[in-house]
Structure formats: C-alpha cells, structure tokens
A and B are shown apart, each in its own frame.
Chain A
Amino acid sequence: MDKDFNKIDKLVNSKMQTHAVDSTVNSWAVISRKMAWRNFLYFRLSSINIYYVSLFLIASIWGTLSYSNATTTSSSAGSFAVTETIRDIHSQEINPSNTINIEETFTNPEKSNPETQFTSNTIASNETQLIKAANNTDNNYNTEQINATVNNTKLLNKKASSSAAKNDLNELTHKNAIIEGETQISSNINISQKVTDLSPKTLASELSSLNQDFAIKTTNVDNLIQESFSTTKYSELDFMSPIFLENMMLFSDNEMDPDFKRDDTLEFYKLPSERTSWLIEAYFSPLYTSNVTKSIDSEMAEFINTKSEIESPVLSFTTGLNIMYQGKKNILLQTGVAYTQLGERIKREDMEQITTSTIPIYPDGGYDHYDTITFINLDSLNQGIHYTDTMLEHSWIVDNSTHDVSDTAKYKGTNTRNKYTYIEIPVIGGYNFEGPGFDLQLKAGLITGFWLNSEGMKANPHNSMELVDMNSDSPEYRKVNYAFTAGFNVNYPISDRFNLTTGLMYRKSLFDIHDSYLYDQRQKGTELHLGIQYRL
C-alpha cells in the first residue's frame, strides 16, 4: 500500500508542480489600484507620496497666507506712514530745519519725482513746503515749480488712498479737524491743478465743513485753478493762528499718544527672526507603531513569513517634555525626555480543537455529510483570546441509511498587543519657517531609548504557529536603542507666550532591538504630535 500511495504522491506532485491557471482579466487592475494607495502612503524619495503632498499643502497654505498678509502689511505701512506723517506735522514745529531745501526743489523740478519713495519726514517736509509756498508772496516760484511740489503731494495722497490708510484718516478725521483740513487742502490743491470743473463753491463748501473751532476761512480757488500760488488766497488758511495751535495741542494728547492703537502696526514690523527664544513643550502623542523583522538565515524565512502574518500595527503613544531653542536665522534645537510605548498586535485564528468527540468510520463505502453552525464566545474576547464554538451535525450516509452524530468543537484564537516601553531622550535639529498665523518647522534627529520592559506574545521561532511569551527563549533586549526621526510641526500661537503645536513625525530603529537573537527586529512608527509650548 505504501508503494501505491507513493505513486499517488508522485503522480500528483509531477502534475501539480507545473500546473498553471490564468488569472482573470481584471485581477491586475484590482491589485494595481490597491497598491497605488499603499504606495502613496509609503515614503520614497523618488516618488510622490502622502508626506510630500502634506508638506506641499501646508507650504501652499502658508505661502498664500503670507502673501495676502503682505498686502495688508503694505496698506498698514501706508497708514502707518500717513499717521506718522501727520503726527510729525503736528508734533513738530514747522521750522526750516525739518524741511528739505526749498530752493533746490523748486529750481530742480525733475528731482521731484512722484515715483520716489518718501520717508515720513520727506512727506512732512513736502507739506511744509506746500504751506510755505502758499504763504510765499515772493512770486519767485513759477507754476512749474509749484506743480512739482504738488506732484509730490500727490504721492502723499496715493499713500493715503489705500483703504487702510483711508480708514485711519477717516477715524482721525472725526476727532481732528486739523488733519482733515490738511488732507483736504492737500487733495483739493491736487484736484484744483488737474480738474478744471471743480467749482470754487465745492472747494469752499469742503473747507467750510471743517471744524468751526478753527474758524477757517474759505478761499477763492479761482486763482488756484488759473494762476500760480502767488495769486492764491491760500494764505487765509492760517495754520499758525493761535486757534489752530491751541486745538492742535488739544488733539495731540489723543492722537499723538504712543499707546494709541496704531502702535500695533509698529509691533508688526519687528522682525520675529531677530528674536531668539527658549520654549518648553509638553505633549501627548498617539503613535502608530509596528515592527520590521528580517533574518539572513534562510531557515528562518518561513518563520518570518508566519510571524508577519500574525502581526499588525497597533496604536500606542509617546508623552514627554521638550526644551527648545530657537536661534537667529530660524535654526531650532530641541531635546527632552519622553515615555514611549512601541509594539505590535498579535492576532491569529488558531485551529486548536479544544473538545473533541469520536466519529465512527464505516467501511462499506458511503460518504460523510456535515453541517456546522459557528458562533463566537463573547465572554472570551476581553481576555486577549477568543473561542469559536462550532456545532456539528455529522452524518455518515451508507446505502440510503444515515447515522447521525451530533458533535461540538471549540476553536481558540488569539488577539493581543505587545508592548515595548522606553524612556527616550530626543536630540533634534530643525528649521523654522515663519508664517502670518502659524510657523512651519521641519525637524530631524536622533532618539536614544532606554529599554524598561517588554510584554506580550510572539511566534515561537522553533515552531512558527505556536505562540509563546515574548520573553521566553531569552531574547536579550538591548538596554539602549537608537532611532532616527524626521517630520514636520506646525505651531499656532494662542497668546503672546503660548503656542499649540501639531505635526507628523516618522521614526525607525537604527538597530535590532535585541542584543543577539535568532532574527533582527526593528521598531517603526508614525507619531501625530500634539502639544503646547510656552515661550520663556
């Protein structure tokens, strides 16, 4: 009989070794689709993956917010300049030392370039020039020269035309008629030079709307339009009058107040990169962790295959304190201490039949027929193992007669998690990209882990389908292990000193977690970093 059976074995073996069956047409398409997603989640330098896409999205958002805030900044710069200008006008005595050389300006009109960037003093001095020119009855200044001065004033108006600056002016206007008066006059002079349909009445009515306290007189603008300044009665607007000065002092206490709310625009211009600071961070981060097992021993290949079948990633955590130094040029240095749990899940459907019964075999031919009903024993689930109960209704059919046997069987499964606990000290460097609302930090470094303990189960290296305690067979875990980590953080300030921080950090052991064992096992994981920072 053995000879017959050997022949059967040989026959089947010879036929089946080369047996091939074509797969269905759609099979590769399904595999390709599932692999595309897995490849996207896998980090590779040479191809697009979720890490690159995440960084790109964050950089795009950061860039967009930076750009839009830069525009607002420019407007604020205008308002700042205008406000400061106005302050300068009011706070400074108008004296020749604050002005540029009038002679130079009027004799060289080409120097008065409307495109020139004006400092606040230049703007102020132009106003001063205007006033002086208006008061000048010398007749030495011709229309061209005056026009040049007026063009310079246009630049002031351009700066004042930005919405932010206009808002500032509007705000101040209600409180300070002097400012209104000045800007009105400046703009009206501009209008009068280029628009001929502005009636004297319009200008007069504008001027008359000024604060009654100043008793500003109207002026005849006909001459403004047609003649040079020398013929204007602009001089009737007496900015040196006691009433003017008295009211200027009254308003200056408010508007010139250094703590006036416009100061925040000044604060805005301080470059954060010029700051250096220390931060303390506390965090608690979920960590999605698993292991990578290898062996150069070909005899271990099957075991490693089986081991990988029963293991899967598990959600664990890391928590700790960091101390960070943010230096000049946005360089970051960070260290700290953390308590970290790494691990993996062990899950296996065993086929260990716990209870059995005997089934008679009838020799006269016939066939076996059975029905099964299977259900999970719920009570066992929280023990890390589970039982599947199966009821069998078993029949042996012989010559149309049946012999029924009822039977039950229990099948045991395992579902548990392994834990490897470390105290870790990270040493990380990075670079900080400043954003308008948040900062983006790229980091990389080394983690030194001091092993505390390991608990759980593992596949028995000597019998791959048997599960044994993780610490059996003397695996000798390394007392100190090293891991590489890299990733990014986003810091969002919630107050002057506190930031919320979040990000993704990838980590992988650099060496086997064992000192010496049958196989090489390394831990890896992705951390969702969640923390709060305090700036010292």
Chain B
Amino acid sequence: MTELPELIKGVKKRKKSFQRELYNRYAPIMRAICIRYTKDHDEAEDILQEGFIKLFTKINQYSGAGSFEGWMKRVFINTSINYIKKKRNILFHYDINDIPNDGMTYNFSDESRYNSGEGDIDDDDFTEEEIMTIIGKLPDGYRLVFSLYAIEQLSHKEIAGMLNISVSTSKSQLFRARKTIQKGLAELSKAKQEHKKKLESIRQKGSNLRLIV
C-alpha cells in the first residue's frame, strides 16, 4: 500500500492509478458521511461521485497543513450540504421562545420538562447501523446541525456560518435533535430488552420441556 504523501503526490499529478487507490482507501468512510447528511442512498452515491471529482480536481489546494483525511471529510461535507441545498430547501424550526403563548409552548430553559427519565444509555447496546437509522429519521435541519456538532465537532458559530443560520437556531436544532435521538434510543433499548425477555422465556420453556421429556 502506498504511503499517504506519495499517494497525494500521485493524485496531484492526476495519475489514474493513484486516484483509484485513494478512492479504494477512503470511499467507504466518505460514503458513510454522505449517507449521514442526505439519508438517501442514491443521493449519497451521487454526492460521493461529485465529491471525489472535486477532490481530484482541487487537490492542489491541499497545502499539506493539517490532516488530509480531515480536509477530505470537509470536502465531502460541503459537497453534501450544497447538494441538499440545491435539491431541497432545508427547514429550520425557529426558536420558540419568540412565539406568543397561545398554545402549549415550552421554554427550553425548563429542563425538567425534557427529562425523559429513560435512564442511562449503554454504548454497547447499539450498533452503527442502528445509530445511523435513528439519525436518518431526523428532519434535515436537526440532522445537519447534530452531525456537524456531535460528529464533526464544530462550534455553533461555525455551524451557523456554514448553514447560514443564527447561532440560536443552531442551538435549538441541536436540542431538538438530541431529544429525538434520546427518545429513539430509549425506545430501541426498550424494544431490545423486551425482545431479550421474550427470548429468555422461550429458552426457559424449551429447557423445561426437555426436563419433562
């Protein structure tokens, strides 16, 4: 396997073999990023192709400072966000602190109302695919902000600049995203526990039967 600096050099010279090797090495990770942002596999495929073409044509802009994988991820994230912008307008539900009190509204500062009481979440309870499924069910605005904050670890200011929204919108979207994910994880955990119990009872019944026999 070619060393990364050598690989980058070859890609900068537009050599096809190096481009292919870079693609083989990083395509699965980048595709996962694309799916995370667009949630549609066909769209993710289009974004992946567009992203790699941009990468190959603009690789001379990578000056060598900072991580190459990080730079590459940013290319794909930007490509994903731009793709989504072109295809559909992303809706952000604005901060409800501004709305008149004509219904049952909530102030985000009232944390007790949002305590789901579902208990601790264990890392080992969930697979990557299950996490992806839960994230995929989020609305566009929630999903983008949450992914950029929790996974790419950008600040609200950076997210606001990237998505051209206010910092407060970014915060409220993140809050709602976390709530939704938390609920989703809790339901999934509950379902898994129930499934486990069922399996256990079936096993016990089975072993009792053997004993009888």
Contacts and interface: CB of A to CB of B under 8 A. Distances in A.
- Chain B residues touching A, majority SS: helix
A12 B13 contact: no
B163 interface: yes
Contact of B164 (A356, A409, A465): A465
Interface in A387-405: 388, 390, 392, 403
A201 interface: no
Interface string B54-70: 00111011110110000
Given A11-B123, A309-B78, A358-B100, A1 B52 contact: no
B20 A20 contact: no
A69 interface: no
A311 to B, nearest CB: 11
A511 interface: no
Nearest to B92: A353
B180 to A, nearest CB: 10
A20 B61 contact: no
B145 interface: no
A302 B49 contact: no
Contacts of A15: 126-128, 131
A9 interface: yes
Interface stretch (B2-10, B83-91, B204-212): B83-91
A294 B105 contact: no
Interface in A344-387: 349-353, 356, 358-364, 368, 370, 372, 374
Interface in B114-131: 114-116, 120-121, 123, 126-128, 131
A295 interface: yes
B150 interface: yes
Interface in B18-44: 19-20, 23-24, 27-29, 31-32, 35-36, 44
B151 interface: yes
Nearest to A390: B89
Interface in B155-197: 161-165, 178, 181-182, 185
A308 interface: yes
Nearest to B154: A302
A38 B53 contact: yes
Contacts of B48: 23, 27
Contacts of A13: 150-151, 153
Interface bracket on A: 35 or more
B65 A9 contact: no
Interface in B92-118: 92-94, 96, 98-100, 102-106, 111, 113-116
A301 interface: yes
B14 interface: yes
A4 B182 CA distance: 8
A298 interface: yes
A533 B33 CA distance: 57
B198 interface: no
B45 A23 contact: yes
Contact of A1 (B62, B65, B104, B111): B111
Nearest to B14: A39
A8 B78 contact: no
A466 B161 contact: yes
B65 A8 contact: no
A351 B160 CA distance: 11
Interface stretch (A29-37, A191-199, A280-288, A488-496): A29-37
Contacts of A1: 111, 114-115
A7 B91 contact: no
A16 B151 contact: yes
B123 A305 contact: no
B78 A351 contact: no
- Chain A residues touching B, majority SS: mixed
Contact of A392 (B57, B66, B91, B151): B91
Contacts of A352: 164
Nearest to A30: B49
B74 interface: yes
A350 B164 contact: yes
Contacts of B57: 38
Given A297-B65, A358-B100, A16 B36 contact: yes
B135 to A, nearest CB: 7
Contacts of B91: 370, 372, 392, 409
Contacts of A304: 61
Given A292-B60, A294-B63, A12 B164 contact: no
Contact of A20 (B32, B56, B163): B32
A306 interface: yes
A24 B48 CA distance: 10
Interface in A16-53: 16-24, 27-28, 30-32, 34-35, 38-39, 42, 44, 46-47
Interface string A287-322: 000001111111001101110110000000000000
Contacts of A5: 178, 182
Contacts of B150: 8-9, 12-13
A414 to B, nearest CB: 11
A451 B127 CA distance: 60
A411 interface: yes
Nearest to B98: A358
A16 B63 contact: no
B201 interface: no
Nearest to A352: B164
A474 interface: no
Contact of A21 (B14, B31, B66, B113): B31
Nearest to A36: B16
B14 A7 contact: no
Nearest to B62: A301
29 contacts: A10-B123, A11-B121, A11-B131, A12-B150, A16-B132, A16-B151, A18-B128, A19-B36, A23-B31, A24-B45, A27-B27, A27-B45, A28-B27, A35-B19, A35-B56, A294-B63, A297-B65, A301-B66, A305-B75, A350-B164, A356-B94, A360-B105, A368-B93, A370-B91, A372-B89, A374-B88, A392-B91, A411-B89, A465-B162
Given A298-B66, A305-B74, 11 more contacts: A11-B131, A12-B151, A15-B128, A21-B31, A24-B45, A305-B71, A308-B61, A351-B90, A362-B104, A374-B88, A374-B89
Interface of A: 1, 4-5, 7-24, 27-28, 30-32, 34-35, 38-39, 42, 44, 46-47, 292-298, 301-302, 304-306, 308-309, 349-353, 356, 358-364, 368, 370, 372, 374, 388, 390, 392, 403, 409, 411, 463-466
